[in-house]
Structure 1
């Protein structure tokens, strides 16, 4: 297991390096000069040249690239172009809000998705199954921004039940967490349903039934344990997707967080903030997938024997 983890960490290095390189090149290829944006109405060339020198934008591109790589390896993401605050401080200040939204959304997606998936499999080809499959399809297909606006109109504008914007209380998390978690719940429900229907046809299920084991015990004690294994990967992907989807959701609901900070940074072409945020997301993605792979070895003995 230790060897497996080390190999995965080694393979993660080119992934992170590739992410850093792509983000750096894309940002620098986009039109717009951060120095001119910061100069505002004062477009005097001496002012713009001064800002370019202060921000290091007048250096050759390859010098900026290797400086960026070296600073990122040391955990030094520099200062924001917009307000000169340390980028790491800005990330740490916004991380709790985004993490709260991602965790609540993931919990909602897991509970709802697994429950609907089990019901859909148990009542296969009945009315309940058809309704759940249609609802799951809508959950997967609906854009987050459209669903967020719809929820605001219904529960905030017309019914006045929940706040539409802001941070600070659990009520302010409910609507964005629902809008963000619906897609994950739909994906998980379809995955769980298909996995249960596949496992329930295995020979060991027939053997259990022949031994007189009740259908309830067959389903909840034996079938579910095997059927939920593929869902572990999906849950990890869903959680990472919640962090990435926060870019849209936090903007729609005017929540403070890393997602909204990235959107604002793109508008200002705040290069250090954008680069650091993408790097954090890439590293987090790798860590979550590694944890999912490790968890497989604890729930599935076959994987544990292969990695030994």
Structure 2
């Protein structure tokens, strides 16, 4: 277990280096100039030249990359070109909003997905099974932006139940959380159903029934306990994906989170801010995957012995 964890940490360092290098190169081969974009097309050449030197953009690319690596190793992601604030401060201010949105979306997805999956498995090939699996397929297929805009129009604009955008109140997270968790709920429902249906056909389930346990007790105590292992792994992975994939929901509902920071950085060619958001979300995804692997090893002794 410890040896496997050490290997994963080493892989993490390699992945972070590769991501840093890739995003650094891509941002510098894209046509356009960051200083010109920031100052506008009417800025004079002298001002552009002066700012280019101040931002050290006149240095060779390899020198800029080495300097960038040295800075991120000490937690310095640079200063935003457009907001003139340290990137780490902007990330620290935006991250809590993303966490709240992702956690609420995860809870919604888990409750809906697990409940629908269990009912669909128990009522296999019945009307409820077809209804729930149809909705889960709909949830997996429909894009997040479409769900977000429909919810925003119907629930917020037409019914006036919640605010159209912003999170001044906790209710402001409801619609973006539903939109963000919609796809995850469908995936969890389908996985829960398929694994539980497979478990219910095992011989030990018949043995548990023969011992006199009721159907509900057999399903809860024996069926779910074994069927939930892959579901829990998916749930752990979804936390990291929800944290890093809230771009659309945050943009549509005007939530000041990591995703919206990334969109603003792209539109304004704010290189330090975009590098910081990409690297930060990469760390989140890697940590989420690492936690999922460790959790799966804890829950399944066979994986722990194999590690």
TM-score bin (small chain): over 0.9
Structure 1 residue 214, shift from structure 2 partner? 2.1
- Cα distance in 1, alignment partners of residues 304 and 218 from structure 2: 24
- 1:165 aligned counterpart, secondary structure: coil
Is 1:22–2:25 an aligned residue pair? no
Structure 2 residue aligned with 1:301: 301
How much does 1:35 deviate? 0.7
Q: Do the aligned partners of 2:176 and 2:250 also contact (CA within 8 Å) in 1?
A: yes
1:279 matches 2:296 = no
Q: Does 1:213 align with 2:213?
A: yes
Identify the residue that residue 6 of structure 2 maps to in structure 1. 6
Q: Which runs of 5+ in 1 are unaligned?
A: none
Give per-residue Cα distances to partners, 1:114-150, cap 9 Å, x unaligned.
Answer: 0010011011101100000110011111111111110
CA–CA distance in 2 between the matches of 1:216 and 1:83?
57
**TM-score normalised by structure 1 residue count:** 0.96
For the residues of structure 2 that align with 1:118 and 1:83, how far apart are their CA atoms? 49
Moved more, 262-271 or 229-238: 229-238
Please tell me whether the aligned partners of residues 241 and 285 of structure 2 are also in contact (alpha carbons under 8 angstroms).
no
SS of the residue aligned with 1:32? coil
Aligned to 2:92, what secondary structure does the other structure show? Answer: helix
Distance (Å, rounded) in 2 between the aligned partners of 1:141 and 1:29: 34
1:258 aligns with 2:258: yes
Residue 41 (structure 1) shift: 4.3
TM-score (norm 2): 0.96
Q: How far apart are residue 93 of structure 1 and its match?
A: 0.7
Counterpart-to-counterpart distance in 1, 2:68 and 2:145: 33
Any idea what the Cα deviations from partners look like across 1:67-110, whole Å, max 9, x if unmatched?
Answer: 21221122111100112211101110111111100110011111
The 5-angstrom pairing of residues 28-47 of structure 1 reads 28-47=28-47
- What does residue 289 of structure 2 align with? 289
Q: CA RMSD in A?
A: 1.3
Q: Distance in 2 between matches of 1:231 and 1:70?
A: 40
Is contact 2:34–2:270 with CA below 8 Å preserved after alignment? yes
Measure the CA separation in 2 of the matches of 1:162 and 1:44. Answer: 47
Corresponding residue for residue 147 of structure 1: 147
SS class of match (1:46): helix
Q: How many residues align?
A: 307
Larger deviation, residues 89-98 vs 54-63: 54-63
- C-alpha distance in structure 2 between counterparts of 1:141 and 1:55, whole Å: 44
**For residues 117-156 of structure 1, what are the structure 2 equivalents within 5 Å?**
117-156=117-156
CA distance in 2, matches of 1:301, 1:245: 32
The residue aligned with 1:116 is 116
Q: State the alpha-carbon separation in 2 of the partners of residues 28 and 203 from structure 1.
A: 60
Secondary structure at the residue paired with 1:195?
helix
Is residue 2:87 matched to residue 1:87?
Answer: yes
